[in-house]
Amino acid sequence: MHFAKKILAAGFVAVFMSACAVTGFGPSGSIFTQTTVGAYGNAIGGTKVGRSCVTSILGLVATGDGTVDTAAAGAGITNVNTINFEGFSVLGLYSELCTIVRGE
């Protein structure tokens, strides 16, 4: 009986901690997430690539600027051809969502 209580407690912890720090966009796993989701694009990808990210720790602190404008400006892109989002999280402890733009 004591073992069953430990299993039940571990299950509750897993459920409540799984969404503490998630990417917030697209599918996410409670143990590990690494995804790329396309948001906009055309046949001409572009030679320049810009990246901007936001991060979250334990779902308590979130920082960053993940806008398309920041990603484009960082790479000197004035004409955005594609926009993708990359999500990464581990155990609900740390997550990152990045905006990736390609263009000229």
pLDDT in tens, 89-104: 999 899 999 999 999 9
**How many Cβ atoms sit within 10 Å of the Cβ of residue 76?**
10
| Contact of 101 with 82, CB cutoff 8 Å | yes
Q: Does residue 80 contact residue 45 with C-beta atoms inside 8 Å?
A: no
Q: What is the pLDDT of residues 14-62, one digit of tens each?
A: 545 555 666 666 677 888 999 999 989 887 778 999 999 999 999 899 9
* CA gap 64, 67 in Å, rounded: 9
Q: What is the pTM of this model?
A: 0.76
* Cα R_g (the chain), whole angstroms: 18
Candidates 30, 85, 89; CA nearest to 62 is 89
